Structure 1
Amino acid sequence: MAGIYWLISKVMLFWHTVWDSILPDHRVLSTNWQWVLAIVFLVITVRVVLFPIFVKQIKSQRAMQAIQPKMKELQDKHKGDRETLQKEVMKLYQEEKVNPLMGCLPMFLQIPVFIGLLHVLRHLRPGMSDHSMELYGWTKDEFLSAVDARLFDAPIVAKFSSSTAELLKIDASSTTVKIVAACLVALMITTTYLTQRQMIKKTGWNTDPQQRMIQKFMLYGIPFFTLTSGWYFPIGVIIYWVTNNAITLGQQYWVLHKYPPPASATTNTTPFKGGAGAAKKAGEAKQPSGLGALFSRAREEAAAQAQQRTNGKGPAKAAGTKATGTPDTAAPSRAPKPGAKPINPKKGGAAKRQSG
């Protein structure tokens, strides 16, 4: 791991030199932005290097989504026979040239970087010998400058769990460190959850039980891990994590909108919010019952009558005519009595016919 520690140190020192030549040497908002930006651009450097692998990850995810209908068929066919199902699934992966582990590869490749930065920042502490300060390519001045670097007056090498004695050695306030570290941990948990939620919300829950279990672990397990372990991370490491999550959110947003999941993947997965149960409830909610049903039928009948009147086919027609506007053959017309006067339609119509 010494090679990884040396590489991480060199990238950080390179970006510190760049930003130190651009920004003033004094602190702004009680922050040494040269060192903070050195960590931020360490993340950017890693993400640029891993971008080709990220593209392969997206292709692998799309391939996994495309074969979901076949996966569903295998699950239904070999239900209860787990051993046969696993063999058939592996055979399907080979035929379709799909690697399910490719989806997690970028995350796995970032683990050594994360561990390397964690080790380097823990190594940065006062009272070290000259030889220890110059490990991993540091000079003595760079080492002491990094030890004293701060974010809002909280040293980037300090932790939420740092003891009072440790903070006294770097002239730091315990309250300030805890406030800054707690805020960063909250950001770390939130952005970690959002990165996973963003993907699941777009693609839905996977129908494969194993893949669904992985999705649940990524959505809930990793944020819980950051909650329990974030108190022991140096502030500089949390800056790295939050920046990495922010870049991931932007990157995923771009990919999901430019290269949306295939339609087959959407139709064979359960929506993120509520799943099938929510869809069923939504369907039931559309069917009115009780007084709602009565009012609904009354409105429909009123609308139908209004439509008939508009078309000139309403019930208000002359006697001997159906509501449909056609002569009523079932009710024959009454013949005039013998000796009756002819009916003048202008002077009484049907009324005079009855009086005659």
Structure 2
Amino acid sequence: MDTILGPLYTAVSWIIVQFHSLYSLVFDEDSGWAWGLSIVSLVVLIRICLIPLFVKQIKATRNMQALQPKMKAIQERYKSDKQRQSEEMMKLYKETGTNPLSSCLPILAQSPFFISLYQVLNHIAQGKTVGVIDKSLLDSARSAHIFGAPLSVKFMDSASKVEKLGASLTDVRVVTVIMIVLMSLSQFYTQRQLMTKNVDLTVKTPFMQQQKMLMYVFPIMFAVFGINFPVGVLVYWLTTNVWTLGQQMFVIRRNPTPGSIAFTQRQERLRAKGKLKEDPVEVEAKKAAEVARANRQQPKRQTKSKRQLAGTVQPEAEKTSLEKQTPGDTKPKPKQAGGGSARSAKSGQRKGGPQRPKHPTKK
């Protein structure tokens, strides 16, 4: 490992030494501020160099989100044929220009620097020179403390080893626990922000379940592995988590995923400032819908007396229409069977026919 990553050890140690010489103009060269800020500056420098990869990661993540329905369909279609399933997946990636590994590029690019920093601090803890850190710088780095904890010690180190570096085991464990908790919280909030604000909620995909699982897995990983890392590595890790959180907040606010809550909020902000250019067709459709809604009237409920009045007015209207016939039309219109004509004939018979005698009343 040392042979393969030897050049990288030299590069990492050289960067740290250059920043240390800069901060030594302000702080004591043997202080934890000078060495700690050198590690923080190393993180910032690395993350600035990784910004192009971060942009590719965002694009790859969005492409993977968009492809999730198609990927799920392929998995269901070729459930029993794994080879055909893999071929169709690769074909889909090729057609859409998507690389599944692009979302992991920033992490993969940081890994060599992370391993190199771990090994540099491990050499310092063991009193071994590494890279450009010679004997004088080695003693200065070993004696540097951050809030009472040397940069080169771990949570699991023995009390005798910690005391040789002029610190107490209690201080070391308190500092490491606080840093591990902050690392876990920052990672959890970063993942939760991605899940709640920057995911297209209109499409339910397995990708959302994977992100939800990672939201809980990563903090546990930090807690488990963090106790085995030197304090200097914890400083590196906490700094890169805070950087990731701030970088993601910036991206979510300025360039959110379409269909997400953050996208809706951004559209509302632009609309309030008058900077959002809406589609003319959509604007006309909204206006037409508003006019139709305003003109739509609910039927008024009538009282019982009004309904009865309406029922009497209707036959009168029919009678009026019958009277308004043309002069040449002298023939009466045929009546329906059992209609008014039959009733009129019967009534005539009753009027003109013999009357039944009334029963005499008893006196």
For the criterion TM > 0.5, the same-fold answer is yes
In 1, the alpha carbon distance for the partners of 2:255 and 2:227 equals: 37
Aligned residue runs from structure 1 range 262-281, under 5 A: 262-263=258-259
SS at match of 1:110: helix
For the 8 Å contact 1:78–1:84, the answer to whether it is kept is yes
Question: Deviation per CA, 1:49-100, whole angstroms, max 9, x where unpaired?
Answer: 1111111111212222233343344344334544432221111001111100
Q: Which is further off, 42-51 or 61-70?
A: 61-70
Choose which of 236, 244, 253 in structure 2 pairs with 1:257.
253
Show the counterpart of 1:103.
103
Q: Does 1:230 align with 2:226?
A: yes
Report sequence identity in percent. Answer: 36
What's the offset of the Cα at 1:216?
Answer: 5.2
For the 8 Å contact 2:162–2:168, the answer to whether it is kept is yes
SS at match of 1:136: coil
What's the offset of the Cα at 1:220?
Answer: 2.8
For the 8 Å contact 2:195–2:212, the answer to whether it is kept is no
Choose which of 280, 289, 310 in structure 2 pairs with 1:327.
310
Q: Does 1:25 align with 2:25?
A: no
For the 8 Å contact 1:65–1:261, the answer to whether it is kept is no
- The total of aligned residue pairs comes to 274
Show the counterpart of 2:180.
185
Q: Does 1:64 align with 2:64?
A: yes
Cα root mean square deviation, aligned: 3.0
Tell me the amino acid that sits aligned with residue 11 of structure 1.
I
TM-score by length of 1: 0.69
TM-score by length of 2: 0.67
Tell me the amino acid that sits aligned with residue 125 of structure 2.
R
Show the counterpart of 1:290.
none
Question: Deviation per CA, 1:240-277, whole angstroms, max 9, x where unpaired?
Answer: 111100110111112222222234x89xxxxxxxxxxx
Tell me the amino acid that sits aligned with residue 119 of structure 1.
Q
Structure 1: runs of 5 or more not aligned:
267-306, 334-356
Aligned residue runs from structure 1 range 86-125, under 5 A: 86-125=86-125
For the 8 Å contact 1:62–1:262, the answer to whether it is kept is no
Q: Name the CA shift for 1:165/1:82 in 2 (closer, same or farther; >3 Å).
A: same
Q: Name the CA shift for 1:99/1:60 in 2 (closer, same or farther; >3 Å).
A: same
In 2, the alpha carbon distance for the partners of 1:73 and 1:329 equals: 66
Tell me the amino acid that sits aligned with residue 12 of structure 1.
I
Larger radius of gyration: 2
Structure 2: runs of 5 or more not aligned:
262-297, 317-363
SS at match of 1:252: helix
Choose which of 240, 244, 251 in structure 2 pairs with 1:248.
244
Question: Deviation per CA, 1:9-46, whole angstroms, max 9, x where unpaired?
Answer: 1111111111111x23289xxx6211111111110011
SS at match of 2:306: coil
